[in-house]
Amino acid sequence: MRFDPASNTSANWAGYAVTAGDPATGAVPTTFTNVSGSWIQPAATCTPGSPAYSAFWLGLGGFADGAQALEQTGTAVDCTGFGTPVYSVWYELVPAAPVTVKLAVKPGDAFSASVSATGSTVSIRIMDTTRKKLFTKKLTMAAPDLSSAEWIAEAPSTCSNFGCRPLPLANFGTVPFSGAVATGNGHVGSIADSAWAVTAVSLQGSGSNRFGGGRFMDVVTVADAFPGALSSDGLAFAVAWQEQVPDPPPPDQAPTVY
């Protein structure tokens, strides 16, 4: 049977998200209590004088319009102004700021991670399976968002009192995700599980900023990112970086002759 997820665009996310199914079809509200998966840390191609940023993560919440919370963990690679790539591991419980994890990471390292929530307790687990290094932490937040689960490549944002805007997306090439599983209402399934609705999200500079509860403002970017098709078992996909191609200038118009 062919699987056709819904699609949408974002100014900062690329990947897949799962939410409750359409109530019109009899679907019941879904509380997602766990998300897990793996990915391979990509290398970044950096250019001196052009700082750029990218992050790869999985998480719970943050997808719905007006969302005010998001629980996530992942890795990042940023390009400094000198053209040097800097790799890191992190977690974040939005609206709190991200926290850097003291794990070394190099391109090509394999990572597995999970985020789970029980009441107000959020458990973070991320492991560099190549180096056999594990980080776990339990945290408390007043109201975790459990309305969705995501597997995402992101253009991180800079924020001020006036809102947030995505930063230039680093050229990460391709990042493969695998083992993508969520638990909703006690049911465990892959991204393509029929128990929930699936959205493929493409990162485009002109895309909607609906993700993150309106935290993102429009921004002109120089690169996009697109999720590939899901594997036949719904557990794997890849996100590919793509340089934007400027629109060609309009052709010269001949003068009107009367």
User: What is the pLDDT, as a whole number, of residue 218?
Assistant: 45
Cα 243–chain centre separation? 18
Query: Mean pLDDT in runs of 10 for the chain (258 residues)?
Result: 75 95 71 98 97 97 91 98 97 95 96 97 98 97 96 90 84 98 97 94 69 41 87 97 69 53
| Interatomic CA distance for residues 106 and 56, integer angstroms | 14
User: What is the pLDDT, as a whole number, of residue 211?
Assistant: 44
| DSSP string of 204-249, one letter each residue | -TTS---TTTT-B-----SEEEEE-PPPTTSS-EEEEEEEPPPPPP
Q: How many CB atoms lie within 10 A of CB 198?
A: 21
Task: For residue 2, give the DSSP letter.
Answer: -
User: What is the pLDDT, as a whole number, of residue 245?
Assistant: 63
User: What is the pLDDT, as a whole number, of residue 231?
Assistant: 97
* CATH H superfamily, domain 6-243: Peptidase G1 (2.60.120.700)
